[in-house]
Structure formats: C-alpha cells, structure tokens
Amino acid sequence: MATDLLDATFAALADPTRRAILTRLAAGEATVTELAAPFHMSQPAISKHLKVLERAGLVSRGRDAQRRPCRLEARPLKTAVDWLEAYRDYWEESYQRLDALLAELREGDGE
Amino acid sequence: MSVVVSTPSERAIVLTRAFAAPPRLVFAAFTRPELLTRWYGARGWHLVSCDLDLRVGGAYRFVSQGPGGERMAQSGLYRAVEPPARLVLTELFDDQSYPGETVITHEFAERAGQTDLTTTVLYATAEGRDRVLRYPMTRGVAESFARLDTLLTEGMDDELDS
C-alpha cells in the first residue's frame, strides 16, 4: 500500500468519532442521516468526518444520488492492523525475555 | 499476556503488557543496567552497553547491537523517577530518521501482586510516529529479501559448481 494512504489511514483512525462511524458501518451500510443520529452531531460535521474516511479509503459511497449510502472498506484497515501486529511482534520478544528475568528475580526474592 | 499496541493519537504509540511480578521488580528491570542488558531490545537487537544516572535530570545512554552486528545508540534524560510506579524519559537516537525528541512514559500499576505496564511513546511529530510504526514491517520485508538474495546466490553457486 502507498505510504500516503497508510498515513491517511492512521490519521483517520486517530479520531474517536471516526472509529465509532467505522464500527457502525461494520454492521452494514448507512446514510449520513442514519450515521449522524447517535452522535448528537450535525450532518455537515458527520460529512466532514466521512470525507476524511473516504480519503483514507476506509469508506466508499453508493451511487444512489438520493441516499449515497456509506459502506466500510476493510482492506486499508487490515493493512493498518498488519503494521500494528508487526510492531507488536517486534517488541514481544523483548518482553518475553523480561518474563524469564522476572521469574528469576521472584525466586531470588523468596516469593 | 502478549503486548497490546494502540495509537490513541497521531503522535503516540501505547504498549500495554502484564507481567507476573510486582511493580518493584519490573521497575528494577527497567532501571538497573545489569538487568536491562538481559532483556531490552527489539527483535534481533540486544544491549551491549548501558549507562544511566537514575535521577530527575540524570542522563542515560544505551548502545544496541543488531542481527548483522550493526550498532545503534539512544540517549536522553530522566524526567520523572518515581519507583515503583512511574518512569519518564526522553529518547533520541544518534542516527535518528525522524525529527525531535521522543518522550517515553512507563506506568507500573500493581494488580494482585502482578504488574500492568503501560508505556506511552510520544513522538515529536505524527510523521515520526508513523515511520517508527512502519519500521518493523519494512525491516521484515528487507530481511526476507536479504534471505532470498542469499538463497538465490547460494543456489546459483551450486549450479555453477555442478
């Protein structure tokens, strides 16, 4: 995936409202009106968040001119999760060595 | 008990992990050179030198060696030293590929004799954070290509030999 798009994905995911929108869309497509309802936000405010999500490729809009339903595009999300998992694995080895060391320290501690 | 990574803001990475030892011991493992050298270092890396002056305003310098024998050094100052609950330090690598100092906050919370560690790594810029987040996978890919190179070279040698 292009680096810019990944930046856009992480930036998009940094906001709690946008994460909530994605969670809602994971349950199925929705219109802007339907999305705005639970957030106590105006439709323009929600539309602004949707634009960020669209730019990141996380959301696509339907062709129906009246409703333009939003749907979740899972692939960039999967890529972002892959990065986080790689980062986690990168450090987990170190923490496993720390587990072993702590077990030793506890024994020396008489616990 | 594997480490959980989250990105609550554009500049932060948060790592959480439980350890089967009280905060006193985990704090010691993070602050005593003879203990740090036994565990600290991301995949393939280990500490070869570890100097620290554990007091607010005190300096530290860690030198690590990588899988190919390459070395990298990080240093900074302790901003808060509150055993066994909290440790805050700044971090700057000698050959850092992103701008500014990073602020690392370790919180050691006690839970039934165990420790819940929360490490918040706050980068100077969002770009720096993203670069670091990408590094393990970039390196993983580079390592795969390096192995592939070796394999291909060896394979070709065999073929030339036969």
Give pLDDT, residue B3: 87
The domains located in chain A, with CATH, are: 3-108 (1.10.10.10)
Burial zone of A40 (CB within 10 Å; 0-12 exposed, 13-18 middle, 19+ buried): exposed
The per-residue pLDDT of chain A, averaged, comes to 85
> Is the pLDDT assigned to residue B151 strictly greater than 60?
no
Mean pLDDT of A11-35: 87
Instruction: Give A59's Cβ-side CA count (13 Å radius).
Output: 32
Which pLDDT does position B157 carry in this prediction? 54
What average pLDDT score do residues B98-110 get? 96
Q: What are the structural domains of chain B?
A: 4-126 (3.30.530.20)
pLDDT category at A1 given cuts 50, 70, 90 is very low
B22: cis peptide before it, omega within 30°?
Answer: no
- CB of B17 closer than 8 Å to CB of B3: yes
Interchain contact, A106 vs B40, CB within 8 Å: no
Structure tokens at A13: 């995911």
Q: Which of A52, A84, A102 to mutate to test the interface with B (most CBs of B within 10 A)?
A: A102
**Cβ atoms B73, B93 nearer than 8 A:** yes
Say yes or no for a CB contact (<8 Å) between B7 and A13: yes
Q: Is the pLDDT of residue B27 over 90?
A: yes
Residues 6 or more apart whose CB falls under 8 angstroms from that of B76 comprise B59, B60, B89, B90, B91, B92, B101
Q: Is the Cβ pair A87, B43 closer than 8 Å?
A: no
Q: What is the mean pLDDT of residues B44-58?
A: 95
Q: What is the mean pLDDT of residues A43-57?
A: 91
Contacts of B40 in chain A (CB under 8 A): 94
Spacing of C-alpha B84 from chain mean position: 20
- Tell me the pLDDT band of B153, cut-offs 50, 70 and 90: low
Tell me the pLDDT band of A99, cut-offs 50, 70 and 90. very high
Q: Over 50: is that where the pLDDT of A40 sits?
A: yes
**Interface A:B, Cβ pairs < 8 A:** 94
| CB-CB under 8 Å, A105 with B25 | yes
pLDDT confidence of residue B85: 98
Contact A106, B25 (CB under 8 A): yes
With tokens 């705005």, the residue in question is: A36
User: pLDDT value at position A70?
Assistant: 93
Residue among B5, B46, B110 with most chain A CBs within 10 A, to mutate? B5
ipTM over 0.95: no
pLDDT for residue A4: 65
